[in-house]
Amino acid sequence: MLILSVDTSGKSLSVSLCEDEMPLVETTLNLGYKHSVTLQPLIEDVIKRSGRDKREIDLFACTNGPGSFTGIRIGVAAIKTIAWALGKPAIGVSSLETLAASFPSAIVCPVLDARGGRVFSALYKVTNIPEELLAPANRQSKDLWQDINRLGQPSGLISRPDPDSSQLSAPDYDTDFSNSVSGFDPNPVLNSDSNLDSDPGYNSDPDSNLNPYFNSDDESLSRMDVDTNIEAAVELKPDQIIVVGDGLPAVRSALNGEFAETQVIWTTQEHWTPRASILSRLAYLKFKAGDSGDPFALIPEYYSLSQAERLYEKKDEQNKT
């Protein structure tokens, strides 16, 4: 099964073409909120480099939230439109679940910055398809650990004091980091009035040191290769929680060193970007498990009111007083 997947949930943009669970071509850009002008050219470039035709694609997938309101809408609209036009199925996968799935056989807490001291967060036990332990929600950073501790001791999670947390560094991926791909301009000229992707409802770290251009088209890079490298980066234990995502600084600051209830592994920024190849694998497994892939059933999951909705509610409350 040939699967085209895109992630537009944050500042980065990731597109992959996979055969079942095997990545054929994957490109990730970290150029800021330019998805409205970079997504379509990047999709075309990935398909072209694969040597395949878009009509050969069997399944389309995208992250459907949470994250950037504008980014999510762009990705969902693009995938729904292409899938509908070609008469193919389309599946949405949570950006939190996609982040968590990067760490096999672990308890993972993905966190995305929702601004104002809040994070989009959840807790997963990562198996073939991540098992949800704590439902995705928009939480106060300081409340996240309380919500996790209320779970008691879910399978594979044992609470015990450990003030010295570990830090997970980036694995040594067998990939090519380059500044260009033939025929694709990662910095298209924007119109002076084009600010469609400058999303005020989402705040990623502007000083992120993520690689600006990640390109993987090595057919030897399978999911097993990636999983093995990540596990080799740190000795994972069943009582450790891996925290990943650009909401990590807010969570760590809110805890203020008081994380004695559990062991914590704070990931570094190299891990904070959802990858389309991982999204593709999850979509493939969901489709095999019976997801119909109806394009019209694919909708954004924001887990939060937009700025316009918040202003409307505030104005409505003022009018009532």
> Over the stretch 89-106, which tens digit does the pLDDT of each residue have?
999 999 999 999 999 889
Which of left, alpha, beta for 250 (phi over 0: left; psi -120 to 50: alpha)? alpha
Neighbours of 227 (CB within 10 A): 18
Distance from C-alpha of 256 to C-alpha of 142, rounded to nearest angstrom:
9
The pLDDT tens digits of the residues spanning 4-33 come to 999 999 999 999 999 999 999 999 999 888
Q: Does the pLDDT at position 172 exceed 50? A: no
Q: What integer pLDDT is reported at residue 257 of this predicted model?
A: 61
Q: Does the pLDDT at position 222 exceed 60? A: no
Q: Does the pLDDT at position 42 exceed 90? A: yes
The pLDDT tens digits of the residues spanning 50-88 come to 999 999 999 999 999 999 999 999 999 999 999 999 999
DSSP letter at 181?
Answer: B
Q: What angle do CA 265, 269, 273 make, to 5 degrees?
A: 105
Among 111-115, 192-196, 219-223, top mean pLDDT goes to: 111-115
Q: What integer pLDDT is reported at residue 223 of this predicted model?
A: 31
SS3 content of the chain, % helix, strand, coil (to 5): 30, 25, 45
Distance from C-alpha of 55 to C-alpha of 98, rounded to nearest angstrom:
26
Q: Does the pLDDT at position 200 exceed 50? A: no
The dihedrals phi and psi of 64, each to the nearest 5 degrees, come to: -115, 20
Q: Does the pLDDT at position 239 exceed 70? A: no
Q: What is the pTM of this model?
A: 0.75
User: Is the CB of residue 287 less than 8 Å from the CB of residue 59?
Assistant: yes
Greatest CA separation for the chain = 64
DSSP letter at 11?
Answer: S
Token couple for 215: 């390109």
pLDDT-based confidence at 262, cuts 50/70/90? low
Peptide bond into 238 cis (omega under 30): no
**Weakest mean pLDDT among 126-135, 228-237, 267-276:** 228-237
Q: Does the pLDDT at position 209 exceed 70? A: no
Q: What integer pLDDT is reported at residue 8 of this predicted model?
A: 97
Q: What integer pLDDT is reported at residue 127 of this predicted model?
A: 86
pLDDT-based confidence at 47, cuts 50/70/90? very high
pLDDT-based confidence at 310, cuts 50/70/90? low
Q: What integer pLDDT is reported at residue 259 of this predicted model?
A: 55
Q: What integer pLDDT is reported at residue 6 of this predicted model?
A: 98
On average, the pLDDT of the chain sits at: 77
Distance from C-alpha of 310 to C-alpha of 321, rounded to nearest angstrom:
17
Among 211-225, 250-264, 271-285, top mean pLDDT goes to: 271-285
> Among candidates 184, 180, 179, 176, which has minimal Cα distance to 43?
184
For residues 247-251, give the mean pLDDT: 94
CATH numbers and ranges of domains, the chain: 2-320 (3.30.420.40)
For residues 146-152, give the mean pLDDT: 83
Q: What integer pLDDT is reported at residue 234 of this predicted model?
A: 44
Give me the percent of the chain exceeding a pLDDT of 70. 69
